[in-house]
Chains A and B, each alone.
Chain A
């Protein structure tokens, strides 16, 4: 298949995060267990929301992160809050997806909350994840691959754009 350029340049996270609106497919693998879903993922820079969907378009779970923390909503409407998105995504999807750093890594940045290393092969090491990023011709994220000892997570973007309209609220909806 056509080779997609691997982006090897990593930088510190800029002051305000990139806002974007993306969708694609999410594949998670842990030994012989795995999970697969379509995703819609958007961020205004202050609030990010990840919808985990079936191919049919209905959302099975939603993770939202803002300044106050993270909240997850399941398809039956039940809401969970927790310190970290990884904890929530484990409850929602069965796998701990480091959502709180995903938007930073997806744009070729490391966050300042923990140490990092850029490996010779151009991948980033942070929070126990080895992260590889592939971009399209416009330099937008095309594939984000995260590997930890037992888990492999891949996000393949089929759509990525800067949002035409920023959401009016910068806060996740917390009460039903």
Chain B
């Protein structure tokens, strides 16, 4: 089932890396982006958008750094506060979905078992997160916010034990870039 797969995912895989494709559907348009990600539990992640433009999101377990190379701006905020900002923040925190979410089996389609996590607090910024697992492997993630936007992420070329260490998640702002705290 979905919940079992989520628990197994939370228990064993310390690290995970791969690529993702993200599609955001709002009332008026659909926007697609893609990139790569790396996760090392607990709390380390890199979520890099490469298309249509570059955005680098790095969690070093204390601070989340959001860097836009074209605008030459880095915005940093405390990682605890930024949990909702990226799925990697959720995936890199073993008990992110445990305490503050209620979990529910949410069916399966073409081999993907879905779990629906609904935030217990109302100001989480979104209505629910769905995580999809295929033969116990993370396959997809969906988010629905309170404005009717649906984010659908599919993961690919997953590596369940990438050789990553904490130093891979140290973010050093490039020279000549504004580093601002949120």
Contacts and interface: CB of A to CB of B under 8 A. Distances in A.
User: Interface SS of chain A: helix, strand, loop or mixed?
Assistant: strand
Contacts of B52: 158
A138 interface: no
B105 interface: no
Interface residues of B, number: 37
A77 B178 contact: no
Interface string B21-51: 0101010110100000000000000010100
B22 A56 contact: yes
Interface stretch (B8-16, B63-71, B130-138): B63-71
A33 B182 CA distance: 6
Contacts of B70: 1, 25, 156
B125 A55 contact: no
Interface residues of A, number: 31
B109 interface: no
Interface in A21-61: 21, 23, 25, 27, 29, 32-36, 40, 42, 51, 53-60
B73 A40 contact: no
A57 B75 contact: no
Q: Top 7 nearest A-B pairs by Cβ distance?
A: A34-B180, A57-B24, A58-B145, A76-B123, A36-B75, A57-B151, A75-B125
Given A34-B178, A56-B24, 7 more contacts: A25-B71, A29-B73, A34-B182, A36-B68, A54-B125, A154-B71, A159-B31
